[in-house]
Amino acid sequence: MNFARPELLWIALLALPELALGLRRTPILRSSLELLAGPRRRMRAGRIFAAFSLCGSAFSALFVVSAALALAGPAWGVRGAAAERRGLEASIVLDVSRSMEAADIKPTRLEAAKGLIASLAKTGGALSEGASFSLVAVKGAAVLLVPMTEDAFAFSDALDYATPDATTAAGTDLEAGLRVGLTTFTRTGAQGRILLLFTDGGELSGSGRRACEEAVAAGVRLVIVGVGGDEGAIVPGPDGLPLVGPKGPVRSARESARLKSLAATAGGRYLDASDAGTSAALAAELMGARGSGTRIEYRRVDHGGLFALLALAFLVVAILAGLLSSRGART
């Protein structure tokens, strides 16, 4: 269960003093009533009053709890509804391995890629009504930083977390990132769908080619953006100093030939991040990927009305219990 306004749940704590007061005042009022009722009706009137009084306090407390839950906006379960949408879905997979921290592209390969992605998301929203983006960070494992969303602020915040610290898994597994990226698309193919991979091409595990073949089978357009230079650049470690391997400082170069081959496997396109026209080319890809049609959108079901009805029922019972306790005391 999720709540739209969880801070209002604190109202439910008011049920505790209501119960405490009910338990405290009932014996006192019962004793006073028995003294006034006389010897014949004393026991009967006291029992009736106590029973209905405690019942009224209990239902008053339940009313407070139910009202608090209704105000907090409880929701659970999902409901699908067909929605007519125009636009595109772009799943972005960003390589955040240590080699992406190389500075052969200023300020670093990773920051250059993130700049292109930020510009791409802004352009995508302008080009297509209802454009949605998801973001996956990949290193030795893949992490979904934000699911498919139209919320530009959520996407921008997620992009800030796309760093080598997004996952502790070492290495680079592009297959894992592409697979997670494919899972972020909605269940129908009504939207235009495009999968974008930003990487320097290094891959220490997995099979990016296998994931590219899955993209083809899913009918997803694949665009690969190669980031970095053709000459080997020093790879910095977590402390900023060069990583050192058995043969000295570790160097990394963009593997353009391999990335072009991967793009060709999926019938997609390869772009060089350092080319001046790459940003415009990416915008054109988004324009070409736009689609329209009906898709199923899933939303959580709001059950606030159910708790509002319960609160009303408990309030009615509490009022009736109060009236019956007074009536029983007079009989």
- What average pLDDT does the structure give for the chain? 79
Is pLDDT of 267 > 80?
Answer: yes
| pLDDT, position 325 | 60
Is pLDDT of 249 > 70?
Answer: yes
- Over residues 199-246, the pLDDT tens digits come to 988 776 667 778 888 888 788 889 999 998 888 888 888 877 887 877
| pLDDT, position 144 | 93
> How sure is the predictor about 253, in pLDDT bands with cuts at 50, 70 and 90?
confident
What mean pLDDT do residues 301-316 have?
Answer: 87
> How sure is the predictor about 154, in pLDDT bands with cuts at 50, 70 and 90?
confident
Q: Where are the beta strands (DSSP E) in 73-171?
A: 74-95, 132-138, 142-149
| pLDDT, position 225 | 95
Query: Which residues have CB under 8 Å from 241's CB, separation 6+?
Result: none
Residue with the two structure tokens 């900023």: 240
Query: Which residues have CB under 8 Å from 140's CB, separation 6+?
Result: 97, 167, 169, 170, 171, 172, 173, 204, 205
User: What percent of the chain has a predicted confidence (pLDDT) above 90?
Assistant: 16
What's the rounded Cα separation, in Å, for the pair 90 and 194?
A: 5
Q: Which residue has the higher pLDDT, 54 or 89?
A: 89
Is pLDDT of 169 > 90?
Answer: no
* Cis upstream peptide for 27 (omega within 30°): no
> How sure is the predictor about 138, in pLDDT bands with cuts at 50, 70 and 90?
very high
> How sure is the predictor about 94, in pLDDT bands with cuts at 50, 70 and 90?
very high
| pLDDT, position 30 | 54
Is pLDDT of 115 > 80?
Answer: yes
